[in-house]
Structure 1
């Protein structure tokens, strides 16, 4: 057996409509799938042009979590103790940073030159951490 692709990642959000406003409205992602499955809303977004990789914006609850565990996850997420992490790339870290500052995004680190490129950190409204980097050419 051989794996050949990573197609979906998941992060918890407390409100999927607020998550759409952030990930689509502020970060510029696209809605990939928005489906009511009855037992949950399957809501995924992707980077524009990359329909092969999706991020599931999942609310804590069934079918994955029982009600008690879901409440614990919501509490930890609200405290900033359980946020997931995403790593995104950009062609211009300084411009992307300025655009996100203008949109009121919560910035955790300013752009910094590092051995691998220029990157900075942001946080979504639910405590998930996101790194955005302009990577150096690998040689």
Structure 2
């Protein structure tokens, strides 16, 4: 049996501002943007990735309350790269806010950044394709 994660939902304030950030600043690809009645089906995908983010505009107060805090302040997403220095420089130049300087860890090079809503992400270049902090 083979399975893979395809989409993860991220609640956003506005479709277009989220697209501008993820595509314009992070370099993701807008893979789907189609109307669905009063909503849109919006998917952004990191280059070369099979998995993507479903950007879901908050439809009520309860959903709006989750914007920017899907994990209680922990890092929510781990963006792997094959060239940390290239992507860190490009993202910094695009105005992405990194919360720390890049650091070298036994599992790879990493730095935490925030998206436009304050959701924390790791930009990570693993030392080995399968390595993770649990492997060391």
TM-score normalised according to structure 1 size: 0.80
Total equivalences in the alignment: 129
How many angstroms apart in 2 are the aligned matches of 1:14 and 1:25? 17
Superposition RMSD in Å = 2.5
How many angstroms apart in 1 are the aligned matches of 2:66 and 2:6? 24
TM-score normalised according to structure 2 size: 0.81
**1:1-139 residue pairs with structure 2 within 5 A?**
4-50=3-49, 52-61=50-59, 67-74=60-67, 77=68, 85-137=76-128
1:6-55: CA deviation from partner (whole Å, max 9, x where unpaired): 111111211211111111111111011111111311111112233x3121
Change (3 A) 1:4 1:93: same
Change (3 A) 1:70 1:83: farther
Paired residues of 1:83 and 1:127 also in contact (CA < 8 A): no
SS at match of 1:109: coil
